[in-house]
Structure 1
């Protein structure tokens, strides 16, 4: 799913950012849930099984692994094409957890 489609459907899907803490702190999509990929198997219960999960990382590799894990565990999951890099290139907002302007790390 491309970043503009994800942005237009944010009220219908749950965004899952699987990047590491330092990447999340530098810049994120407002409203996304942050669970680093390495922690995802132990934290699946934090996600709503009834809503499609759109996975996000810097460029798509880790998000693909997360979507595969989720799909194999019963969730409907898609990858945001191009990750945070594509989101930022599309001119969509990237903020820090405190709400200040952020950047993709």
Structure 2
């Protein structure tokens, strides 16, 4: 799948499961895209290997299925690209928000207080 841009993501936010792969302290310090879920990049591969029950218990949301439309983002895009590649290698439908949180904030996207 192709990368995603601010206009598409902001207009269709509820259509995606947005995975924020920044470290938890970055999310807490800077806020997050509404509805996004923090899974730090170093945890991502092991997170995807968890059972559905264990995943939800640890991360607080339902484990995405391979048919779920996922968007990955980080602060500037590098970690989001690695996360997107990891999801794709496991058969998931993942798109990368290349501009990530920096672009979201610069373009006036809503930001909510970060939760770990």
TM-score category by the smaller chain? 0.7 to 0.9
- 1:57 aligns to 2:74 (yes or no): yes
Q: Contact conserved, 1:12 with 1:51, CA < 8 A, in 2?
A: no
In terms of fraction of residues, the more helix-rich structure is 2
In 1, Cα distance between equivalents of 2:102 and 2:11:
18
SS of structure 2 residue aligned to 1:11: helix
Task: Report how many residues are paired.
Answer: 98
Q: Could you report, residue by residue, the CA deviation over 1:45-76 in whole angstroms, capped at 9, with x for unpaired residues?
A: 53232211100100100000000000000101
- 1:48 aligns to 2:52 (yes or no): no
> Of the candidates 24, 35, 38, which is equivalent to residue 31 of structure 1?
35
SS of structure 2 residue aligned to 1:54: strand
Deviation at 1:12, TM superposition (A): 1.3
SS of structure 2 residue aligned to 1:16: strand
Structure 2, gaps ≥5 residues long: 51-62
Q: Contact conserved, 2:21 with 2:38, CA < 8 A, in 1?
A: yes
Deviation at 1:28, TM superposition (A): 0.4
**TM-score calculated relative to the size of structure 1:** 0.86
Q: Contact conserved, 2:76 with 2:98, CA < 8 A, in 1?
A: yes
In 1, Cα distance between equivalents of 2:75 and 2:14:
22
SS of structure 1 residue aligned to 2:14: coil
Q: Contact conserved, 2:6 with 2:103, CA < 8 A, in 1?
A: yes
Partner of 1:89: 106
Deviation at 1:97, TM superposition (A): 3.2
Cα RMSD over matched residues?
1.3
**TM-score calculated relative to the size of structure 2:** 0.79
